[in-house]
């Protein structure tokens, strides 16, 4: 028998009704935040849920966690309808919002985590073993006794991840988990998530505006735009959807007129640096640059997912 999907959404939709205007001339307006969404996430997948601002990501996350009820379609998370089975579901999912903490601000991190244990009714022995494991994996030991309000953003995020994972959930929902973090903290969190997924087969769904999170963590991307599914597939397929050109960055020894090199189109200049879009093979352009101009350095920039999404979003808007 196939395993129950971690998430199954079918024709999923959510409207909001807004009432505006003065008291006697109130008008009602319907905003469709999400509509006709179909996707399934299998247990153990790590999936990026992406989209431009206002695309409907948070609305979907709120429906997945049972905070909002869908106005259309079907949604099952770990075999349950989230809005109807909120408590049962809470025991099996962990949620982290990068912009908000679920920890108690004035309590030391350790006490906050103990309170979380009571919320999820985790037996004491299981809690101790799990906390030891998470303390090690997330390197919490140095600040377990520090009040949450005194933690750095990176430490707080590691604390929030521990709180979300103490009850060993099957599904982890992350909303911007690396927002505002420096590169060292980001890397530590990404490595931790990859390990968690490999060791415990935890399904992870994450929204992020940091596309290096996606490149490091996710093989699959679901892209939504104006509330509907715009793409569901792997990263290579996403690149193919809106192929972004390669860029040749030429550092001259002094500022100069725009370069006219074979198979390139001049994009912009800044001081002695020029950006050229490659419309053909790079070799003739590089050879011509080296032969005819005083070059200090040359770099070939391969497009990343960031460039692909920027082109996609521009095309759609
Ligand atoms: N409670 C609400 N009442 C009315 N409209 C809402 C509500 N929540 C969201 N919307 C609208 O629904 C649409 C989708 O919003 P949502 O917050 O889900 O987008 P998002 O993809 O998470 O955006 P962002 O990346 O900016 O957080 C937007 O047009 C938003 O204004």
Spell out the domain ranges in the chain: 43-68+78-241, 247-301
In this structure, are strands 264-270 and 247-252 parallel, antiparallel, or unpaired? unpaired
CA–CA separation, 1 and 219 (whole Å): 25
Q: Which of 12, 17, 48, 58 to mutate to test the pocket of ligand 1 (most atoms within 8 A of CB)?
A: 58
Q: Find out whether 90 and 172 touch, Cβ atoms under 8 Å.
A: no
Q: Considering only 65-74, 79-88, 278-287, 300-309, which range has the smallest mean pLDDT?
A: 300-309
The architecture (CATH level 2) of 43-68+78-241 comes to 3-Layer(aba) Sandwich (3.40)
Query: Would you state the pLDDT for residue 13?
Result: 97
Which pair of tokens denotes residue 181? 């973090």
Q: What's the pTM value of the predicted model, to 2 decimals?
A: 0.84
Centre of ligand 1 from the C-alpha of residue 124, in Å:
40
Query: Would you state the pLDDT for residue 1?
Result: 59
What lines the ligand 1 site, CB under 6 Å?
16, 18, 31, 33, 51, 53-59
pLDDT at 122 over 90: no
DSSP class per residue in 276-301: EEESS-HHHHHHHHHHHS-EEEEEEE
| Terminal alpha carbon distance of the chain | 43
Q: Residue 145 — very low, low, confident or very high, per pLDDT cuts 50/70/90?
A: very high
CA–CA separation, 139 and 117 (whole Å): 19
Residue identifier of the C-alpha nearest atom 6 of ligand 1: 16
Helix (H) or strand (E) holding 198: helix 183-200
Q: Considering only 78-82, 203-207, 209-213, 253-257, which range has the smallest mean pLDDT?
A: 209-213
Read off the pLDDT of residues 11-53 as tens digits, 9 standing for 90 and up: 999 999 988 888 778 888 899 999 999 999 999 999 999 988 8
CA–CA separation, 163 and 140 (whole Å): 12
Percent of the chain with pLDDT over 70: 98
Q: Residue 251 — very low, low, confident or very high, per pLDDT cuts 50/70/90?
A: very high
Centre of ligand 1 from the C-alpha of residue 16, in Å:
9
Centre of ligand 1 from the C-alpha of residue 125, in Å:
42
Q: Find out whether 179 and 160 touch, Cβ atoms under 8 Å.
A: no
pLDDT at 309 over 90: no
Nearest of 205, 235, 202 to residue 41 by alpha carbon: 205
In this structure, are strands 295-301 and 264-270 parallel, antiparallel, or unpaired? unpaired
Query: Would you state the pLDDT for residue 129?
Result: 92
Centre of ligand 1 from the C-alpha of residue 17, in Å:
12
Centre of ligand 1 from the C-alpha of residue 34, in Å:
9
CA–CA separation, 271 and 249 (whole Å): 12
Q: Which comes out higher in pLDDT, residue 272 or 280?
A: 272
Tell me the three state secondary structure of residue 67. coil
The complex's ipTM? 0.96
Nearest of 200, 219, 234 to residue 94 by alpha carbon: 200
- Which atom number of ligand 1 is nearest to the Cα of residue 31? 5
Percent of the chain with pLDDT over 90: 61
Write down how long the chain is. 317
Residue identifier of the C-alpha nearest atom 10 of ligand 1: 33
pLDDT at 283 over 70: yes
Phi, then psi, of 29 in degrees rounded to 5: -130, 140
DSSP class per residue in 113-179: HHHHHHHHT--HHHHHHHHHHHHHHTT-GGGTTSBGGGS-HHHHHHHHHHHHHTT--SEEEEESTTT
- With a CB cutoff of 8 Å and minimum separation 6, the contacts of 21 are 27
């Amino acid at each position: 028998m196939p395993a129950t999907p971690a998430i199954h959404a079918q024709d999923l939709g959510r409207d909001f009704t807004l009432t505006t205007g003065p008291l006697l001339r109130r008008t009602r307006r319907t905003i469709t935040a999400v509509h006709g969404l179909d996707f399934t996430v299998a247990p153990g997948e790590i999936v990026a849920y992406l989209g431009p601002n206002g695309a409907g990501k948070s609305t979907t996350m709120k429906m997945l966690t049972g905070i909002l009820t869908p106005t259309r379609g079907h949604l099952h998370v770990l075999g349950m309808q989230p809005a109807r089975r909120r408590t049962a579901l809470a025991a099996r999912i962990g949620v982290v919002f990068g912009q908000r903490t679920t920890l108690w601000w004035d309590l030391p991190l350790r006490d906050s985590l103990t309170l979380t244990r009571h919320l999820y009714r985790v037996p004491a022995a299981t809690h101790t073993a799990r906390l030891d494991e998470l303390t090690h994996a997330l390197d919490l030991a140095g600040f377990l006794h520090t009040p949450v309000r005194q933690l750095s953003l990176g430490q707080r995020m590691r604390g929030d991840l521990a709180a979300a994972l103490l009850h060993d959930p099957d599904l982890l929902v992350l909303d911007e988990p690396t927002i505002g973090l420096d590169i060292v903290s980001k890397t530590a969190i990404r490595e931790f998530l990859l390990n968690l997924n490999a060791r415990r087969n935890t399904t992870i769904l994450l929204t992020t505006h940091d596309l290096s999170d996606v490149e490091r963590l996710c093989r699959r991307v679901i892209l939504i735009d104006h509330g509907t599914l715009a793409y569901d597939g792997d990263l290579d397929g996403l690149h193919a959807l809106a192929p972004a050109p390669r860029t040749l960055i030429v550092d001259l020894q002094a500022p100069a007129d725009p370069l006219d090199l074979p198979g390139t189109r001049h994009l912009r200049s800044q001081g002695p640096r020029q950006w050229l879009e490659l419309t053909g093979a790079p070799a003739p352009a590089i050879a011509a640059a080296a032969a005819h101009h005083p070059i200090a350095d040359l770099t070939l920039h391969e497009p990343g997912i960031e460039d692909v999404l920027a082109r996609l979003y521009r095309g759609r808007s």
